Structure 1
Amino acid sequence: MLQPAVPLNEVERLKSLQEANILYSPSEEEFDNITQLASFICKTPISLISLVGEHEQWFKSKYGTELCDAQRDISFCSHAILEPEQIMEIEDTRLDVRFADNPFVIAEKEPIIYYAGMPLKNHENMVLGTLCVIDTKPNKLDKKQRKALTALAKQVEILLELKRKNEYLKTIRKELNDHNDLLKNFAGVVSHDMKMPLANMIMTADILKAKFDDQLGYEGLNYLKNIKQSGLKLSGYINGILEHYESDKIAAAHAEEFDIHDLLEEIIDLLHITEDCEINLPEKNTTIETNRAALEQIFLNLIGNSLKYNDKSKIIIDLECSENLDYYYFSVKDNGIGIPKDKEEDIFKIFTTLSKNDRSGNIGNGIGLSTVKRLVGNLGGNLRMESEVGKSTCFSFSIKRK
């Protein structure tokens, strides 16, 4: 018996096999289907997907045998991987000097008399093992069988590559989730830590104005006004960040039953509307069962935007609600300033603004609509918008029923 030679690129080959993360992995139907098909096509009782490690070969898939592995120095596949581009076929192993006294060949029970193996390569052209068929009597593949075995080996390579890419994507996803969690924690800590100093700054500006109003003069009072406005704007920005990153927690709350009119009336009261405004509630007062806190946050943002970004003397907001067996559907339509077509995709991105002043002359922070989209997505729904500049904007969204 001749022991197999070691490939010239053995170090790199073993590294590739390790990185494939498939050695000693559980059996999988996709691979088992291929070994079964190979055995059927080649008319052999045994078929294996064999991965050649440093000291042993291990069978990712096996058909017709209970063996799980074998020593590398007596394996047939260790010889087959030395010729990566072609099938190694031994019609009668008893007549081949490499295998004549091999333990598998001279075994009394189910000896390996016939072997045909097609090497399996990865994306870097490194040979990881073989797809092989085995018989206990002399055999020979015809032209069609050889072509089929080669094609099946290619399918194994495709499965191995898909498995490698999936593992890579899982790793990237975990890293992104970890980074996202760190960002959430950082944003939460920083935002909470900044709220008190900001409140103190705003309050101090009011105290200074009250105590020294007659001494500061027009310019001094203007400075105080700017300080307070900047503080209020930054405070709103921080509250927006907290709402955005806490939206996942809000969406995870339990569903409860309530009617839509009660919810919307509470929201209208919270907004303390002072403008001339007509808000039309849904014609039907539907009783729904969903996450009340999340839906409240969505409506607060959308109705709030309809109030702020409106240049009409009278603000008109129409609210609609409907349902089917799977979803609740809602819409918020206003007669506001509208959104240009080229900005429709950008408005849902966090920190993106239209660079337009609202009704009070302020520019938004670009967080509200991003939070709305995040909440709607977490509730299993979709959000879309239709707008006409200078006339109206309508936000429609769905929520999956519990």
Structure 2
Amino acid sequence: MKMIAPVLPLNEEFRIEALKSLGILDTESENEFDEITALAAYLCDTESALISLVDSDREWFKSSYGFSASEIPRKESFCAHAILEPDTPLIVKDARLDERFCNNPLTIEGTVTFYASIPLIDKDGFALGTLCVIDRQPKELSDKQLEALKSLAHQVVILFELNKKNKDLEQVEDKLRKRNESLKEFARVISHDLKMPLANVITTSDLLKLKLANDLDQETSQYFDYIKQSSFTMSDYINDVLDHYESDSLAQNKPESFKLNYLLKEIAELLSIKPDCTIHFPESNPALNCNKSALKQIFFNLIGNSIKYNDKEQIIIDIEYTEDTIFYYFKITDNGMGIPDDKIDSIFELFTTANGTDRSGNKGNGIGLSTVKKLVENLGGCIKVKSTLRVQTTFDFSIKKQQNL
């Protein structure tokens, strides 16, 4: 008598497509699946257990417990028979007495005598394979053992779906990463290409205003001032865009040791602090060991905003510092315009602004705080804001301590 080879399911073409879509064939072993086969063998008191997937011409094992082969030909597969009736467990008490399997090589060599399986059915109803238990001796399963095997098979299907979702997410993240890199490069090229024409506009407007000084009335002179101011505004916008897209590389800088107050004084000089602004530095002037360049950019943006968005005659900025064994903590409080309640939740979103105009009547571009949040998170910390409109705003942020590489 010849071995009875399994026939193909009626939906075979679509079943194979569903199987391939999982992206799980020929992948490495995983503990989550191996634990299930070990548990299945233990609960059913069998020598072996397998998570099998029935491919076009083979049966491949995602996990095998007590079974040495990683795959077998489909024509020799017990599981290829099982998927023909996906709603019913296939239980073979003694394969030597079953006409379908008595001449199967696995039966003849004594590898499989007892076989029991639960088809693995995906959300669309396709039987992709089975969770099966096998033994060299004839056996029977109790109702409790069979129910346990069904429950474990259900968990296998859940794991398949989770794996597929994770792979889909990885693909989406990869696409977004590539698009983000392209956007960064686009922003960098465009920004650099715009800088020179803007510089020419500023220089040319100054030269024209100087050359035509004797022929300009007050209104025309103001137009030249508008051109120059608009060019400077655009230049600031370009610089902010570059800072935002270069923040990832900035966050990769190695940690270094420095005194916090020295860094803050350096920032104050860069911002050209005027007499109408008072900044209170931490009294202790603590020594830090972290990414100095990134922290400098964070404080530069936050202090700059505290000055720009301030409607008081005397600007007051308080900077506080604490630390523990894992994080450095910073707090910067100003007596400025404050942030409206309806803008608090969106203040760190790119191109979102909290106030209409700044101290000089210019509208912000909504890039600085987004860059700050990005840098803080890249440094392993978090940032939050509290504000009382027309009274004060406080930014609290942390960065994770680093070791020199």
TM (normalized to structure 2)?
0.96
Secondary structure (helix, strand or coil) at the match of 1:220 reads helix
For 1:102 and 1:359, the matched residues in 2 are separated by 86
For 1:94 and 1:249, the matched residues in 2 are separated by 67
For 2:279 and 2:113, the matched residues in 1 are separated by 86
Secondary structure (helix, strand or coil) at the match of 1:27 reads coil
2:188 is aligned to 188
For 2:309 and 2:34, the matched residues in 1 are separated by 61
Secondary structure (helix, strand or coil) at the match of 1:305 reads helix
Deviations 1:107-137 (A, max 9, x none): 2xx3422211110122322111011111222
Residue 270 of structure 2 aligns to which amino acid in structure 1? L
For 1:2 and 1:49, the matched residues in 2 are separated by 23
1:163 is aligned to 163
Aligned counterpart for 1:65 among listed residues 67, 82, 89: 67
**Deviation at residue 242 of structure 1 after TM alignment:** 0.5
1:208 is aligned to 208
**Deviation at residue 152 of structure 1 after TM alignment:** 0.9
**Deviation at residue 355 of structure 1 after TM alignment:** 4.3
Residue 122 of structure 2 is aligned to residue 122 of structure 1:
yes
Moved more, 163-172 or 98-107: 98-107
Residue 298 of structure 2 is aligned to residue 312 of structure 1:
no
**Deviation at residue 357 of structure 1 after TM alignment:** 1.6
Moved more, 249-258 or 179-188: 249-258
For 1:249 and 1:105, the matched residues in 2 are separated by 61
For 1:351 and 1:209, the matched residues in 2 are separated by 34
For 1:104 and 1:155, the matched residues in 2 are separated by 28
For 2:319 and 2:108, the matched residues in 1 are separated by 84
Residue 266 of structure 2 is aligned to residue 273 of structure 1:
no
Residue 90 of structure 2 aligns to which amino acid in structure 1? M
1:101 is aligned to 103
2:286 is aligned to 286
Residue 239 of structure 1 aligns to which amino acid in structure 2? N
Moved more, 11-20 or 221-230: 221-230
Residue 173 of structure 1 aligns to which amino acid in structure 2? E
2:250 is aligned to 250
Q: 1:248 to 1:111 in 2, by over 3 A?
A: closer
Deviations 1:15-74 (A, max 9, x none): 111111111111111111111111111111121111111111111111122122111112
For 1:32 and 1:346, the matched residues in 2 are separated by 45
Map of 1:39-54 to 2, 5 A cutoff? 39-54=41-56
**Deviation at residue 207 of structure 1 after TM alignment:** 0.7
Residue 362 of structure 2 aligns to which amino acid in structure 1? N
Secondary structure (helix, strand or coil) at the match of 2:60 reads strand
Map of 1:26-45 to 2, 5 A cutoff? 26-45=28-47
Residue 190 of structure 1 aligns to which amino acid in structure 2? I
Aligned counterpart for 1:21 among listed residues 20, 23, 27: 23
Secondary structure (helix, strand or coil) at the match of 2:337 reads coil
2:152 is aligned to 152
Residue 128 of structure 1 aligns to which amino acid in structure 2? L
For 1:3 and 1:175, the matched residues in 2 are separated by 44
Map of 1:344-355 to 2, 5 A cutoff? 344-355=344-355
**Deviation at residue 88 of structure 1 after TM alignment:** 0.6
Runs of 4+ in 1 over 4 A off after TM superposition: none
Residue 333 of structure 2 aligns to which amino acid in structure 1? K
Q: Please, which runs of 5 or more residues in structure 1 have no aligned partner?
A: none
For 1:103 and 1:291, the matched residues in 2 are separated by 65
**Deviation at residue 148 of structure 1 after TM alignment:** 0.9
2:386 is aligned to 386
2:323 is aligned to 323
For 2:219 and 2:303, the matched residues in 1 are separated by 37
Residue 104 of structure 1 aligns to which amino acid in structure 2? L
Residue 53 of structure 1 aligns to which amino acid in structure 2? D
2:369 is aligned to 369
Deviations 1:62-107 (A, max 9, x none): 1122122111112111100001111011112222221222222222
Residue 102 of structure 1 aligns to which amino acid in structure 2? N
For 1:248 and 1:36, the matched residues in 2 are separated by 44
**Deviation at residue 275 of structure 1 after TM alignment:** 4.7
Q: Please, which runs of 5 or more residues in structure 2 have no aligned partner?
A: none
Deviations 1:229-271 (A, max 9, x none): 2111111100000011111121111111111111111111111
What is the root-mean-square deviation of aligned Cα atoms in Å? 1.3
> How many correspondences in the alignment?
400
For 2:46 and 2:274, the matched residues in 1 are separated by 85
Residue 14 of structure 1 aligns to which amino acid in structure 2? I
**Deviation at residue 186 of structure 1 after TM alignment:** 0.5
Secondary structure (helix, strand or coil) at the match of 1:105 reads helix
For 1:131 and 1:5, the matched residues in 2 are separated by 20
For 1:301 and 1:41, the matched residues in 2 are separated by 62
Secondary structure (helix, strand or coil) at the match of 1:263 reads helix
Residue 96 of structure 2 aligns to which amino acid in structure 1? R
Contact 2:340 2:354 in 1 (8 A): no
For 1:106 and 1:398, the matched residues in 2 are separated by 68
TM (normalized to structure 1)?
0.97
